[in-house]
A and B are shown apart, each in its own frame.
Chain A
Amino acid sequence: MTTNVEAVANAPSDSLRSRSLAALTWRRLFQQRNAIVGMAILLFLTLVAIFAPLIAPYDPVQSLLGIETLKEREAPCIHVLGCPEDKPQHIMGIDANYRDVFSRIIYGTRVSLFIGFSTIGMAVVVGAIIGAVSGYIGGWVDNVIMRLMDVVLAFPSFLLAIAIITVIGRGLQNALYAIAIVNIPVFARLVRASVLSIKEQEFVSASRALGASAFRLLFVRIFPNALPTLVVQATLSIASAILEAAALSFLGLGAQPPTPEWGTMLGSERNQVFTAPHLVFFPGLAIMLTVLAFNLLGDGVRDAMDPRLAQVAKK
């Protein structure tokens, strides 16, 4: 009976508030040119990743030796720009192992987006749980957890990722774990801070007075209110996660050949920057575009959710 009373008392207002917040956020988001550009690029990249097999003209890992007459690290051949019609078109050129760079870039989109979402997904889930529990329970549990998070945060994140890979071994999967681990404290601290402030608010006290369980209080009443900041941070972190993964792969610690990963592509041809610049230019451009898209979107989401900006908009 108590629960029903509580549900009746709260449900309409919650629903109304979340609907209005979401609608407001979307509306503000679409008012920002940067965010629109970021979303457009991201939409484009997502479509490229989904339809990679249809877009890429070649298998990204297949050597074209014996199939076409090629030179190693051949420059781009684009028919409309004067490349002879009888030569097969490779709009981003050929790499050192006689593979089509364009196809590898296209498939690399899948890898990079997967890296971004999966690492930050892992970090958000684990970090949020740790932060929420820590903030809600408080006391020595909070102290221990937060000091642990401080220890992790004390290390430069990239060095810590390298150290973790040294222990668990190289490879894309382990790189994902490493990047996720170094991002956990960021989300843990963020959620903890939100929980600490929200748990003292009246609606939480009211729920507690009505007999809500600790689990319900934490994950139904408090946690949803911490989500906006989490979303903003997650969007911004995806960009840095993609960069970190590319850097690890560049160093040979992340994705391994023949995976078409942009960082790996950059790393394997780093010495050819003067002799075959297309081999470093296109993967570099792809990384830059993806990171830019997430950063623009992240900034946009942050601005859209910032209440001060909302006040400015009302005036």
Chain B
Amino acid sequence: MKKMSTLFALLVAFSLVLAACGSGGAAVQDEFSALAEFEGLKLDAGSCDYGGKVLSIEAVDELTVVFTLCKPDPAFEAKIAFTPFGIQPQEHLARTGGTGELLENPIGTGPYQVAEWDRGNQIVYTRFDDYWGEAGSASTVTLRWLTEGAARLQELQAGTADYVSNLSPSDYATVQNDPNLQILYHQNPNVFYIGFTNTASPYDNVDVRRAIALGIDYQRIVDNFYPDGSEVASHFTPCAIPNGCEGESWYEFDAEAGRALLAEAGYPDGFTTRLYYRDVFRVYLPEPARVATEIQAQLQENLGITVEVVPMESGEFIAASTSGELTDGMHLLGWGADYPHVTNFMDFHFGANNPQFGNAHAEIYGPLQEASSIADVATAAPLYAEANNMVKELVPLIPVAHGAAAHAALASLQGAYYPPFGAPQFNYLNNGTDSLVFVQNAEPISLDCADETDGESLTACQQVVETLLEYGKDSGATFPELATACVSNADSTVWTCTLRDGVKFHDGSDFDADDVVASWARGLDASNPYHVGNTGSFDYYGYLWDSFMNVPAE
């Protein structure tokens, strides 16, 4: 009886406490309910047997996403800051089916939203007034494109553009001498190279490849066909990238040694071949036709090799060269850093599955595979030295130059800059008026940048769609963007990203962890219903994370 009365007293007391707590108690209850109700999306490969780096991505609560990797990735933060990994609302992805409207009208969280894309003419952006960060000063930004460098500069000189990208080297002096203009140097690490596909004669003979490497006067090319600040490539990866320059330097120009080696290889009088290129401005190759003609002349003069230069349409050239189809000649191509890590240069080009240079060399990709899971720069250095030495030994390609580039803006444009990685954010540019005009060198292919690789598309997307982290204005260091922080466990296989609270998409919906998982799942999971995009190739998801999940068996 005494026990019963004690129990009754406790119940009464507990009831009184609950009553006293009132609404506070209700709030606690709501929060508990919410936690209990949140069932975040999860992308799960099940195992690492599929060959990719990502095991799972899970929204553990509204503002927390956990990336679980199959093996440590020292470049994880640098990679997720890259524009193709931008976040869009899962509802928008579902509504568009991952293609169609999505290609021209991305919904993001960025400072500007797409108002209109007048194909062949311009893209007009309007300022997003609910932007969480620094709002742009111009309420309207127009992105236009002109393929000719001279035409872009004329726009700037006429005052009809505020900012033009990719100055022609011959226009540097003009901009420098014009008090109304400012020149903006661009420090993006890049490399221009001559590629071989080693599956056909004569390029299946390593001595032929070495002879060509010896027979090219690199300094002459850089001195005469590149702008100031460019340099001869001592290694494939620029030295600005940690571990890029480990190992022996590239061959010095020695025409006599080249001729001797060519004779040993059975070609004392040279041979006839082709040199393929695309006539498109790139920082690593600002004047392709001139450089192609110069290499043609050098090979004839130094090694007796008769070269037919063959310009190709850009898309056709990229498809043919990167799939190893240009077996009857060499090809001129290059690479600009997507993110500041040596894997971005080495692993992509010399990976076991890259057909561009013919049969891949285990002597090169072996050490690269081992190094790719080592986070410590010093520990990985000997492996990169080994890989670089084997590149020199086997010559799958010839690194020629690291190009410098410059852009130009009106002197009155405040905040004008060009970051080493990515493109300038329009919201940091202020011309003192309500509209801004930015001119680049080509039209974007689409604005679904999860499925695009060209810089022109990425520049256009970057204004609209944001990533978890972002690159600095003057370095490749990463800073919080949609995530306030991404921290890893001890062996860098589990990354927990805490998301920014209160962020809104352009369609008014709230940003949360499910949007992150949905956006990543669309790119990474080949069986995802929205894995459609423009071409469906989702290149950066495939190669930066080694493989897609759930690839259908052929």
B-binding residues in A (CB < 8 A): 61-63, 65-66, 72-73, 96-98, 170, 252, 256-258, 268, 271-272, 274-275
Contact = CB atoms under 8 A, between A and B. Distances in A.
A29 to B, nearest CB: 43
Nearest to B291: A97
8 contacts: A63-B297, A72-B224, A97-B290, A252-B279, A256-B309, A257-B292, A258-B293, A271-B150
Contact of A258 (B170, B296, B310): B296
Contact of B294 (A97, A256, A271): A97
A257 B150 contact: no
Contacts of A258: 293, 296-297, 309
Contact of A98 (B170, B224, B301, B309): B224
A182 to B, nearest CB: 23
B539 to A, nearest CB: 28
A279 to B, nearest CB: 12
B170 A73 contact: yes
A87 to B, nearest CB: 18
B170 A272 contact: yes
B293 A97 contact: yes
A-B pairs with the 8 shortest C-beta distances?
Answer: A257-B293, A271-B150, A63-B297, A97-B293, A96-B290, A257-B309, A271-B148, A97-B290
A54 to B, nearest CB: 23
Nearest to B224: A65
Interface of B: 148-150, 168, 170, 220, 224, 279, 287, 289-290, 292-294, 296-297, 301, 308-311
B310 A256 contact: yes
A62 B301 CA distance: 9
A271 B149 contact: yes
Main secondary structure of the interface of B (DSSP, over half): helix
Contacts of B297: 61-63, 97, 258
Contacts of B296: 257-258
Contacts of A72: 170, 224
Contacts of A170: 310
A72 B227 CA distance: 12
A96 B148 CA distance: 16
A262 to B, nearest CB: 16
B11 to A, nearest CB: 89
Considering residues B279, B293, B311, which has the most beta carbons from chain A within 10 angstroms of its beta carbon? B293
A252 B311 contact: yes
A198 B308 CA distance: 50
A256 B150 contact: no
Given A252-B311, A274-B150, A275-B150, A63 B170 contact: no
Given A63-B297, A257-B296, 16 more contacts: A61-B297, A62-B297, A62-B301, A65-B224, A96-B290, A97-B290, A252-B279, A252-B311, A257-B289, A257-B293, A258-B297, A271-B149, A272-B150, A272-B170, A274-B150, A275-B170
A62 B296 CA distance: 10
A62 B297 CA distance: 7
A100 to B, nearest CB: 13
A275 to B, nearest CB: 6
Contact of A268 (B168, B224, B289, B310): B289
Contacts of A98: 224
B312 to A, nearest CB: 10
Contacts of B293: 97, 257-258
A66 B290 CA distance: 17
A170 B308 CA distance: 12
B287 A96 contact: yes
